[in-house]
Amino acid sequence: MASAGYRAAIYTPDAEFEYALRLAVDAPPELTDAGVRAGDALEAQLIAIAKQVARQAGKRRSESAPPWPRRVLRWKGPGRGGR
């Protein structure tokens, strides 16, 4: 499978922002907001994570492993590279 769809969310102390995300090994991530955007900086972080997952999927596919993870969780906060 060359692409996968995910539900994505960005959580801040004050709000939650939901997205649909389409990842492909050979194309940039497609991000669609659910009506309210988190802002350019937070979306850029989400896209960077999505690109990393897509690169890993390409490598896993070449190893005959299931390419797309069922769930991806990344957290940044105090002590974890967040502000």
CA-based angle 40:42:48, to the nearest 5? 100
Token reading at 22: 């389409």
Round the average pLDDT of the chain to a whole number and report it: 84
Q: Is residue 52 classed as helix, strand or coil in its secondary structure?
A: helix
Among residues of the chain, what percentage have pLDDT more than 90?
47
The backbone region for 76, taken as left when phi is positive above 0, alpha when psi lies in -120 to 50, beta otherwise, is beta
The whole-model pTM stands at 0.78
| H/E element, 23 | strand 16-24
Token reading at 48: 């960077």
Asked if residue 81 has pLDDT above 60, the reply is: no
In this structure, the number of other CB atoms found within 10 A of the CB of residue 54 comes to 20
Say how far apart CA 24 and CA 61 lie, in whole Å: 12
